[in-house]
């Protein structure tokens, strides 16, 4: 078994991160994913041009992460012959995933109605920035704008007097992509019962609303809108960041502060605080949160992170260490849970990549290889689809295949 989606054919017409990441997850789960790229390739191949890295690395980490395990073809959809080729591939696919704008898809003949007419069993998964209705349904979007900024996440974070915090690349895209992969699996299950496919619609904006759902629902229900107060005024000081003697940060995560208050005071060596009237209960501590944080700051600054790890764990306190990304790549817990897997690059070198986070015990799956080079599998895929060598040569002469 190569995964729960073994035997499923997926056709991807996606760029950047969100949809390619969803297709990469489907490939991890065993699907045969064919990625269609224009002659100049998915723009993520030119990583340095994004400004996110200062140079073009020998191995493009972003492209490898979100395109591992796929086969890649080049097809210029500006040509009528290219559109016919893509439509023929969709006609024999189980799933089509895309994040091109709907007017572009219609111009290419890759819209849902056109493809469904040839393949009623097709599961058509379309990701947009802001949805398929309303005045902004065709607005271009990245997750920075539609997910992070527009959905309220940016305004809910950071210090009160500071600028809005930005996200790191692909944060919203990857969460949305994982959800889209799950939606595809659900639609395939429905197809097994009904015999027909359907269109899946998902947007970065709505995915951001879902990620921030606790705050959004509170605002809907109570009218209260969360605003960052900063760590110096955290209402629950036992849910806050503190800096240790060695310059590290830890995050206390005690959402039931009364439950943990006595054991926490033991852990920090200040059992006298239990009897302090200012901190007698959670509501009262909330009123005196600044006083308590002012007491806790120098206490945490007196020991190293490892010393605090031992002290807090000994008393059953809930907390987490703030790690750098470099530390995460060597985290023994990540290694123990197979959070990273190795794939082979075309030149034979091994590449360690982040594994998608779902594990199947009966149908284990993992990336089957590195990301394809531009157009690497064009001839192979077309031959499987019934094209002959003469057809391929003619399409190359026309510039359809790049």
- Looking at the domain assignment, is residue 247 inside a domain? yes
For 202-222, what is the mean pLDDT? Answer: 97
Domain containing 377 equals 9-212+338-398
Q: What is the pLDDT of residues 89-107, one digit of tens each?
A: 999 999 999 999 999 999 9
Say if CB 144 and CB 168 are below 8 A apart: no
Same domain as 259, residue 194: no
Same domain as 152, residue 69: yes
- Looking at the domain assignment, is residue 1 inside a domain? no
For 137-153, what is the mean pLDDT? Answer: 94
Same domain as 309, residue 239: yes
Decide which of 271, 304, 326 is a domain's last residue: 326
- Looking at the domain assignment, is residue 277 inside a domain? yes
Same domain as 66, residue 14: yes
Q: How confident is the model at residue 49 (pLDDT cuts 50, 70, 90)?
A: low
Same domain as 130, residue 18: yes
Decide which of 299, 326, 353 is a domain's last residue: 326
- Looking at the domain assignment, is residue 129 inside a domain? yes
Q: Report the CATH number at residue 271.
A: 3.30.1540.10
Contacts of 7 (CB under 8 A, 6+ apart): 30, 32
- What share of the chain has pLDDT > 70, as a percent? 98
Same domain as 93, residue 19: yes
Domain count, the chain: 2
Task: Return d(Cα 214, Cα 235) in angstroms, integer.
Answer: 17
Same domain as 342, residue 317: no
- Looking at the domain assignment, is residue 331 inside a domain? no
Taking CA atoms, 123 is separated from 61, 155, 348, in Å, by 30, 36, 35
- Looking at the domain assignment, is residue 288 inside a domain? yes
Same domain as 106, residue 126: yes
- Looking at the domain assignment, is residue 226 inside a domain? no
- Looking at the domain assignment, is residue 197 inside a domain? yes
80-91 and 389-398 helices, crossing angle to 10°: 140
Same domain as 358, residue 309: no
Instruction: Give this prediction's pTM.
Output: 0.94
For 353-377, what is the mean pLDDT? Answer: 94
Same domain as 363, residue 302: no
Q: Report the CATH number at residue 370.
A: 3.40.50.10540
Q: What is the pLDDT of residues 260-290, one digit of tens each?
A: 999 999 999 999 999 999 999 999 999 999 9
Same domain as 237, residue 151: no
Q: What is the pLDDT of residues 174-206, one digit of tens each?
A: 999 999 999 999 999 999 999 999 999 999 999
Q: What is the pLDDT of residues 313-330, one digit of tens each?
A: 999 999 999 999 999 999
């Amino acid at each position: 078994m190569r995964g729960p989606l073994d035997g499923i054919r997926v056709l991807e017409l996606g760029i950047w991160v969100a949809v390619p990441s969803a297709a990469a997850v489907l490939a991890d789960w065993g699907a045969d994913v064919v990625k269609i790229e224009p002659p100049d390739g998915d723009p993520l191949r030119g990583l340095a041009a994004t400004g996110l890295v200062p140079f073009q690395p020998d191995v493009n980490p972003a492209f490898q992460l979100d395109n591992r395990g796929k086969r890649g073809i080049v097809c210029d959809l500006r040509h009528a012959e290219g559109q016919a080729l893509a439509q023929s591939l969709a006609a024999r696919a189980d799933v089509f995933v895309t994040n091109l704008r709907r007017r572009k898809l219609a111009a290419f003949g890759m819209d849902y109605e056109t493809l469904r007419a040839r393949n009623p069993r097709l599961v058509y998964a379309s990701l947009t920035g802001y949805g398929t209705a309303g005045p902004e349904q065709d607005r271009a979007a990245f997750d920075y704008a539609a997910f992070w900024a527009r959905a309220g996440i940016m305004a809910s974070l950071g210090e009160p007097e500071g600028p809005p915090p930005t996200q790191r690349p692909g944060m919203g895209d990857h969460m949305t992509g994982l959800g889209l992969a799950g939606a595809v699996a659900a639609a395939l299950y429905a197809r097994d019962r009904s015999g027909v496919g359907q269109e899946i619609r998902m947007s970065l904006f709505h995915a951001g609303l879902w990620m921030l759902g606790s705050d959004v629902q509170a605002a809907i229900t109570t009218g209260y809108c969360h605003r960052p107060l900063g760590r110096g005024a955290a209402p629950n000081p036992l849910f806050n960041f503190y800096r240790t003697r060695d310059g590290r940060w830890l995050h206390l995560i005690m959402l039931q502060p009364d439950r943990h208050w006595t054991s926490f005071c033991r852990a920090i060596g200040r059992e006298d605080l239990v009897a302090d009237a200012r901190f007698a209960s959670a509501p009262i501590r909330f009123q005196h949160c600044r006083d308590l944080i002012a007491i806790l700051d120098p206490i945490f600054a007196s020991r190293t992170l490892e010393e605090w790890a031992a002290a807090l764990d000994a008393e059953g306190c809930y907390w987490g260490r703030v790690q750098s990304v470099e530390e995460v790549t060597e985290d023994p817990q990540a290694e123990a849970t197979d959070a990273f897997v190795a794939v082979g690059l075309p030149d034979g070198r091994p590449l360690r990549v982040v594994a998608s986070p779902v594990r199947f015990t009966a149908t284990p799956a993992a990336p089957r290889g590195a990301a394809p080079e531009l157009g690497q599998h064009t001839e192979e895929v077309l031959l499987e689809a019934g094209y002959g060598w003469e057809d391929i040569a003619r399409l190359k002469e026309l510039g359809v295949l790049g």
